[in-house]
Amino acid sequence: MEYDYIDAEELAQLLQGGDLTSGKDFKIVDVRDDDHITGQIHSSINIPSTSLIYNPHLLPNILSPLAPIPWLIFHCALSQQRGPKSARIVAEYFKELGKAKRVSVLRGGFIRWGELYGKNGNLTKNYRPDLLED
C-alpha cells in the first residue's frame, strides 16, 4: 500500500500543537471538488481530485509546492474513493521522482471531521453542515 490512515483525533492533535508544523512537516490536502464549500480543515489546501486523476500532465505544476513537505495527508468527504485514489497517485508520483514521502488518508474524511470538530473554529473554517448531502 502506498499510503496509511490517520484518525481525526490524531490529526486534531497535530494541528493543536506539538513537534510538527503544518506546511513544513505535514500538509493536509483536501481533494473534494464542489463539495469543498461545506468547510475546510484549518491550514488545508484544496486540490480537486479531478486535477490529479484526469490531468496527469499537470502533476509537476500542481505538486511542486508539496515537494519539500515530508508528510501529506489527504481527505475527501468520506475518504473512501477520491482521497485514497489521489493519495495513491501522489505517492506514486513522488516515489517515481525518488522523493518518497509519507502519505496518509484521513479516516472518515471531512464528514467524520465535521462531526467531531466542525464547530471548533481553531480546527475548521467555514463549516456548513447544511450544505452536506444526505
According to the model, what pLDDT value does residue 100 have? 86
pLDDT in tens, 55-94: 999 999 999 999 999 999 999 999 999 999 999 999 999 9
According to the model, what pLDDT value does residue 61 have? 96
pLDDT in tens, 5-48: 999 999 999 999 878 999 999 999 999 999 999 999 999 999 99
According to the model, what pLDDT value does residue 130 have? 86
Reply yes or no on whether the pLDDT at 133 is more than 70: no
Reply yes or no on whether the pLDDT at 134 is more than 60: no
Q: What sections of 8-66 are H helices per DSSP?
A: 8-15, 49-53, 59-63
Kindly report each contact of residues 126-133 with a partner whose C-beta sits within 8 Å and lies 24 or more positions away, as own/partner: 126/37, 126/39, 126/40, 127/38, 127/39, 128/37, 128/38, 128/39, 129/38, 129/39, 131/35, 131/37, 131/38, 132/35, 132/38, 133/35
